Structure 1
């Protein structure tokens, strides 16, 4: 087999693999959207209705508690992890730390990124047992914060490293301090930072293993930071294993809400990053 034939074979295999992956993805998303959309059309009120006392048995009520639980857990966690991640990414730049330290730190962050989410949940659960506390909204926020931290940090670090050296040297040449230079660099790297934050939020709102042991699986509305709560992924798992067909249909409806939310966030991040890129070096001007 000559090299041109090998190239054609490899190209064909790559395209076939890509087509299979896209077909499976389209099938999963399509089935979820169709069945979830049908369930929502049949009973649109379940999105804004609190669960009934026998919700997991007969589907009485809705899953507003899971939507609020997801927002109240992932929202604060994203804010906290973003602040920590941006601070860490700034420190890992050559202006503040050595190249060797940054290399080891990034290796550690990559390991954390690849760690299974359930490990974070077990880690926080260990802390909860030692402190003598039960599953709560606060514990869920803590576990998601730890889970999101390496993701947002790596995105932000790569975005800051992509900023041209000439831009930094120009700001220093104008007499700017390190802090002022970092502000300019963050502005230039903003699209990458936004992508990292959105990715962290999407991973957090779609994860069940991290909060399974820490937030609990409450079937009531969130009552406070120290009270148990649930999220959409946990609720979907509970609903999908129910013997009641009505409850299982709610699982598709909740999956529909989750997928649409994640897709909307990704689209919004692309839009915001694109608009802001006009005002960054190399971007288009209005």
Structure 2
């Protein structure tokens, strides 16, 4: 067999493998979404979305998951805000105040790569230890501490990749004009502004869907979260507890809760793609 035929054969094999992978992933996505719709849609109602659990909700009685929806939004919102105001300055410092290629720069980015891959249950255990040391009980505050630790590496690494898209010549020009590093940092932030919102949305999506970390630190409550030092329900935890029930109606409510969470994630994904497209146009 000639080299040309071998190359064409490899090309065909690679094409078939990529098509098979795409079909498998797409099919898995439709299967998951279809299962959630099929099992959850019959149990989804306005009363379920707008009401808090009432007595016996987890054994099939009246009520809803409004407290879990609100708790998830509070938890993800506060955590993402803290992760953004901590993570963005870290990325700016690593890319502008530290020279590229130095040991400090490479070690710092490697550290955040490692933190990015650590399972959320580990962050939950670390946050739980911090809570015990500080005398904080399981509460919304404990969940915020956990999810903030979890999402800081996401923000840092995403913004770091965005800053790599800034032309090197642009950095040299700003310095040659006598700009300080802080003035250069502000210019970079304006350049990647749409991408920063994308990073924040990615962190928010990761925060609102986590269950392992908040299982140890947030607690659970049927009441609406009014204060940050009170236990709070979240959608992932509500799904977990409802699926653990042997009652078919409660299990159906779990799939309905999963449908609500999926809808929220879908909105986040759409916004992320829109902002990514805007960032691409901005670069062009």
The question of whether the paired residues in 2 share the 8 Å contact of 1:109 and 1:150 is answered with: yes
Which residue matches 1:79? 81
The question of whether the paired residues in 2 share the 8 Å contact of 1:190 and 1:273 is answered with: no
Which residue matches 1:217? 220
Q: Report the TM-score when normalising by structure 2.
A: 0.92
Count how many residue pairs are aligned between Structure 1 and Structure 2: 279
Rounded to whole Å, the distance in 1 between the matches of 2:105 and 2:13 is 41
The question of whether the paired residues in 2 share the 8 Å contact of 1:55 and 1:62 is answered with: yes
Which residue matches 1:229? 232
Q: Report the TM-score when normalising by structure 1.
A: 0.91
Deviations 1:230-284 (A, max 9, x none): 2100110111111222211211111111111111011112223434655x342xx
Which residue matches 1:90? 92
> Where do 5+ consecutive residues of structure 2 fail to align?
none
Which residue matches 1:182? 185
Rounded to whole Å, the distance in 2 between the matches of 1:251 and 1:155 is 32
Deviations 1:46-86 (A, max 9, x none): 10101102211224200011011101111011000011110
2:40 is aligned with 1:36: yes
Runs of 4+ in 1 over 3 A off after TM superposition: 94-98, 272-278
Which residue matches 2:167? 164
Which residue matches 1:22? 26
Which residue matches 1:197? 200
> Where do 5+ consecutive residues of structure 1 fail to align?
none
The question of whether the paired residues in 2 share the 8 Å contact of 1:194 and 1:273 is answered with: no
The question of whether the paired residues in 1 share the 8 Å contact of 2:194 and 2:278 is answered with: no
Which residue matches 1:134? 137
Stretch of structure 1 that moved more, 235-244 or 215-224:
215-224
Stretch of structure 1 that moved more, 228-237 or 168-177:
168-177
Rounded to whole Å, the distance in 2 between the matches of 1:181 and 1:3 is 48
Q: Indicate the RMSD between aligned Cα atoms, in angstroms.
A: 1.8
The question of whether the paired residues in 1 share the 8 Å contact of 2:136 and 2:142 is answered with: no
